[in-house]
Structure 1
């Protein structure tokens, strides 16, 4: 299964004519997938030496660059604009949810997310207003990492990715596929695409500023365990609620 998935990722990167940067990401992650040993969700962390080093790198970049920008963003952005921004990006994720639900054989969930995308893209003005949630249309939260799990692809080792953070080999490979499945990759040129990605990152980081007060002990272990628990629930088909959402009442969870 690992071999066939790797071949799929390689062929997809060529057939869909990905932009060069994303094509390289696909190739690298598919190589990681082929190299990864099969590991359970609660297995040891065999790449911990590298992972801790990358965690420290990411943490330093966050303290020096990302967190100060996110703090300024949180200060100047009014709450309604924050919610609208979350809704906007969430609408793109709902589109990916349609495709992944179909690949998982979940027709009802695919239909629900389709209704959400159509409703929020039109009545909700390009997704800035989450009209679908107000109308009671449920969101199916999923990604291609979940799809790979449904197909029986093993999780692989836990890995800390540069600037992105905690992941697993399967989830990282799925994220790469989600990147070119997303309509943002087709609607915008490289500059606009990566601009949106960075803006989304800053918005997400701003939403987690208050969560830092609950982190104690070994920060690396904390982030690893929280991520793996969240990932396990998502891959099992559960609806994931962000572990930090209760510490930021102003962040509308349904909007993201």
Structure 2
């Protein structure tokens, strides 16, 4: 739910997936997954979308970017760890500099002087990507309640992300922690509104669209984006969903 980022095949492939069934998509529990998908869509329709629309009305794009920068900065130690596990020492060093600069000069990450002044762009790395780099197969497709698209390899990213997030080690009362979590979710949903509308308007079957998009996007992340989108009819959607905070 927080990162429904995607790359998808051309429209012909989308319609083709709908007719070839779940076996080719490695979706052996498609019936269950569709049920969870419908549940998530209901939560989005009746709770997240209205909340995000209200949030958009009372905030500027700059405020929403700063909120996104703040939460992304909290996740930076996890990015650094996964860079190291993938053997990307240079990337780990650059991400470390980003974290220090943005936490101090950038006022706890609300701003991104590391990119604006030093030209050091951020790049998310998670443990699912790390396993992919190590050669672990993605496995069957899964849809997780509230979290959305995943697979049997990528579910590992969530516990690792939890234990490498700064906010996990900051003493917060339950109300404050819940409020921050809600703010992150609503802010992220607001920033993704355009891409969500594109999916609903363009896809014959939004479930198939999301499944194919997720698979393509994760393959792209594992190989550090070495995938061409030139012939992709949905490249605008992918660029919107994959855009980093502040871009």
The TM-score, its normalising length taken from structure 1, stands at 0.76
What's 2:188 paired with? 204
What's 1:217 paired with? 204
Report the CA distance between 1:225 and its aligned residue. Answer: 1.1
Contact 2:26 2:139 in 1 (8 A): no
The 2-side partners of 1:226 and 1:85 are apart by: 26
What's 1:46 paired with? 28
- Cα deviations across residues 177-201 of structure 1 (Å, max 9, x unaligned)? 1111111111143624443232211
**Change over 3 Å in CA distance of 1:223–1:103 after alignment to 2:** same
SS of 1:189 mapped into structure 2: coil
Higher deviation after alignment, 225-234 or 89-98:
89-98
Stretches (4+) displaced over 4 A? 239-243, 245-248
Contact 2:56 2:190 in 1 (8 A): yes
Contact 2:83 2:91 in 1 (8 A): yes
Aligned residues: 214
Match of 2:47 among 34, 49, 65: 65
Does residue 226 (structure 1) correspond to residue 225 (structure 2)? The answer is no
Match of 1:186 among 164, 169, 176: 169
- Cα deviations across residues 74-97 of structure 1 (Å, max 9, x unaligned)? 111122211111111121232211
What's 1:80 paired with? 62
Contact 2:75 2:166 in 1 (8 A): no
Unaligned residue ranges in structure 2 (runs of 5+): 1-23, 230-234
SS of 2:75 mapped into structure 1: helix
Higher deviation after alignment, 171-180 or 108-117:
171-180
Q: CA RMSD in A?
A: 2.6
The TM-score, its normalising length taken from structure 2, stands at 0.78
Report the CA distance between 1:169 and its aligned residue. Answer: 1.5
Larger helix proportion of the pair: 1
**Change over 3 Å in CA distance of 1:171–1:243 after alignment to 2:** farther
- Cα deviations across residues 184-239 of structure 1 (Å, max 9, x unaligned)? 11114362444323221111111121223322210101111111111111112338
The 2-side partners of 1:103 and 1:141 are apart by: 14
The 2-side partners of 1:58 and 1:214 are apart by: 18
Does residue 169 (structure 1) correspond to residue 152 (structure 2)? The answer is yes
What's 1:255 paired with? 246
1:9-158 to 2 correspondences below 5 Å: 43-134=25-116, 135-158=118-141
